[in-house]
Amino acid sequence: MSALSAPVDHAAAARERARRSARRTTQHGWLTSLPGIVAVTVLCLVPIVMTLVEAFSAEGLAAARTLLETPVLGRAVRNTVVWTVISVVGAVLIGYGAAFLLQHRAVRWPGLVRSLLLLPWIVPQVVAATIWCWYLSQDFGLLNRMLQVIGLIDDPVDWLSNTSLVLPVLASIQVWSTFPFVMLIISAGLQGIPEELYEAARLDGARSHHLLRYIVLPSLRDLTFIVLLITTIWAFNSFALVWLITSGGPADSSTLLGVLLYRAFQQGDTARVAVVAVLQFLVSVVIALLYVKRTREEDA
């Protein structure tokens, strides 16, 4: 009987050792993650909870009602939506185009070209805002000078003081500064497509547009989704570029939600700050949930 029960005892002991090892691994993981968890809690969760409490307090609800009655909130929301759409669509289209261009055989020194195209993304926003202010100046801006030389305009255009032009112009600057990120991600995706797929499709008589439709775009679908989410969050929460160039003017024509929040902060209106911050936070949470849902669908 003892000889027959020995293997069972050994198996039970092995399972116990495995459980102890797994428990030690779990404890070690929690201990090594604890500093990060504490930092995230202190730096992120605590401010979020405090902001939510402030926004839904009596003072915050009163500030929300007052804000809803003023036209500035509707204007800021509309400007933010327009800004986000132009910024995201422009960055994705130009980033895709630049990525495909770098893959073309006619481009010599693609590494050098890629490095040059990454400069707008690398340049600090303060520097970029200063350069664009000079470039778009009505009095001495290079853009007006170039357009006058080639005969497209007769008189200098005040790009940053025209209420109809300022938001699209600023969104174009946002596109200029974010399309390199899209280019970098899509370039990595293009390089990850096996060459055998192209060769097999060409043997079957596929043309360039067939390769794009049935191989390239499906292969880049997940990366495109991620790029759209990231650029949308960046654009929706933009502040520095607009504030440095126009401060939301003229006549609030370039006021975004981030600019509205900062103005309330300057005025010491903590209730209004909390209300606008919660609005931005809720939109960002919706975007994040879309990403989580998409990730779970892919894992399933």
**Chain centre distance of CA 238:** 9
Query: What DSSP line would sit under 38-81, residue for residue?
Result: HHHIIIIIHHHHHHHHHHTSHHHHHHHHHHHHSHHHHHHHHHHH
> Same domain for 242 and 111?
yes
Please count the structural domains in the chain. Answer: 2
> Same domain for 1 and 96?
no
| Residues 6+ away with beta carbon under 8 Å from 162 | 250
Give a yes or no: residue 49 inside a domain.
no
pTM value is 0.81
Q: How far is 233 from 160, CA to CA, in rounded Å?
A: 25
- Given a cut of 90, whether residue 222 has pLDDT beyond it is no
Give a yes or no: residue 60 inside a domain.
yes
pLDDT at 128: 93
Q: What is the 3-state secondary structure (H, E, C) of 122-136?
A: HCCHHHHHHHHHHHC
pLDDT at 300: 61
Indicate which CATH number applies to the domain containing 244.
Answer: 1.10.3720.10
> Same domain for 22 and 155?
no
> Same domain for 199 and 231?
yes
Q: How far is 296 from 290, CA to CA, in rounded Å?
A: 10
pLDDT band at 256 (very low <50, low <70, confident <90, very high): very high
> Same domain for 145 and 286?
yes
Q: pLDDT of 135-156, one tens digit each?
A: 999 888 899 999 999 988 888 9
Q: pLDDT of 3-38, one tens digit each?
A: 444 444 667 777 778 888 888 888 888 888 888 888
138 DSSP 8-state letter:
T
> Same domain for 63 and 95?
yes
Give a yes or no: residue 38 inside a domain.
no
Mean pLDDT, to the nearest integer, of 154-181? Answer: 93
> Same domain for 24 and 65?
no
Give a yes or no: residue 50 inside a domain.
no
pLDDT band at 54 (very low <50, low <70, confident <90, very high): confident
> Same domain for 154 and 222?
yes
User: Poorest-confidence range of 51-60, 183-192, 226-235, 283-292?
Assistant: 283-292
Query: What DSSP line would sit under 225-272, residue for residue?
Result: HHHHHHHHHHHHT--HHHHHHTTT-STTTT--HHHHHHHHHHTT-HHH
Mean pLDDT, to the nearest integer, of 242-256? Answer: 92
Which residue range is the domain that position 5 belongs to?
A: 1-33
Q: pLDDT of 73-132, one tens digit each?
A: 889 999 999 999 999 999 999 999 999 988 887 788 888 888 899 999 999 999 999 999
> Same domain for 5 and 141?
no
> Same domain for 7 and 110?
no
> Same domain for 138 and 238?
yes
